[in-house]
């Protein structure tokens, strides 16, 4: 099992390691041991399947690294995590998925409204007034102009 994938899925559900242990039916010490052993850990089949079931994912998803762990993403980390608001890319992705305004603002500030909408859907456009205050003023002005233009275009 890939423990980085497990940890990202656990964080996405906002579970502590103790909560994960409780839901899987193992001790907290067992879960702690999984993470201490390194990025890959071998579990007995029944435990591995209980972990997958508790998280609601196919077992094979737990066995492979998430895309952000598979390659060197130094440039991506530097672009999105420059101020350490989020400790790593999985925390950033979880925050974007949950709709946290600062994370969505960072995504849109970096990639723009069109690319942001391709990544997270129409809420990039819809929620712009709610998160725009977190965008650097110079970038915000250009994005506001684009947002107003698109809004007029789709309203007519």
Domains assigned to the chain: 3-70 (1.10.260.40), 74-155 (no CATH)
**Predicted structure pTM score:** 0.64
Buried/exposed code over 25-42 (b: 16+ C-beta within 10 A; e: otherwise): ebeeeebeebeeeeeeee
Burial class (CB in 10 A: 0-12, 13-18, 19+), 137: exposed
86: left (phi over 0), alpha (psi -120 to 50) or beta: beta
pLDDT band of residue 10 (cuts 50, 70, 90) is confident
What percentage of the chain has pLDDT greater than the value 70? Answer: 94
Instruction: Please state the rounded mean pLDDT for residues 22-26.
Output: 94
Task: Report the Cα–Cα distance between both ends of the chain, in Å, rounded.
Answer: 52
Find the mean pLDDT for residues 22-42.
89
Q: Provide the pLDDT for residue 8.
A: 83
- pLDDT tens, position by position, 106-154: 999 999 999 999 988 899 999 999 999 999 999 999 999 999 999 999 8
Of 38 and 105, more confident? 105
pLDDT for 21 equals 95
Distance CA 92, CA 130 (A): 18
pLDDT of residue 27: 93
pLDDT digits (tens, 9 = 90+) for 60-102: 888 877 665 555 667 778 888 888 898 888 888 888 888 999 9
């Amino acid at each position: 099992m890939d423990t980085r994938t497990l940890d990202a899925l656990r964080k996405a559900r906002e579970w502590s390691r103790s909560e994960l242990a409780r839901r899987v039916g193992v001790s907290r010490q067992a879960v702690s041991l999984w993470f201490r052993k390194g990025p890959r850990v071998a579990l007995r089949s029944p435990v591995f399947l209980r972990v997958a079931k508790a998280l609601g994912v196919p077992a094979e998803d737990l066995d492979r690294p998430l895309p952000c762990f598979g390659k060197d993403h130094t440039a991506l980390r530097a672009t999105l995590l420059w101020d350490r608001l989020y400790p790593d890319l999985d925390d950033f992705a979880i925050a974007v998925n949950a709709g946290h305004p600062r994370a969505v603002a960072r995504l849109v500030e970096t990639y723009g409204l069109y690319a942001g909408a391709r990544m997270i859907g129409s809420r990039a456009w819809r929620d712009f007034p709610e998160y725009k205050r977190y965008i650097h003023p110079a970038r915000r002005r250009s994005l506001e102009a684009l947002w107003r233009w698109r809004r007029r275009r789709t309203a007519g």
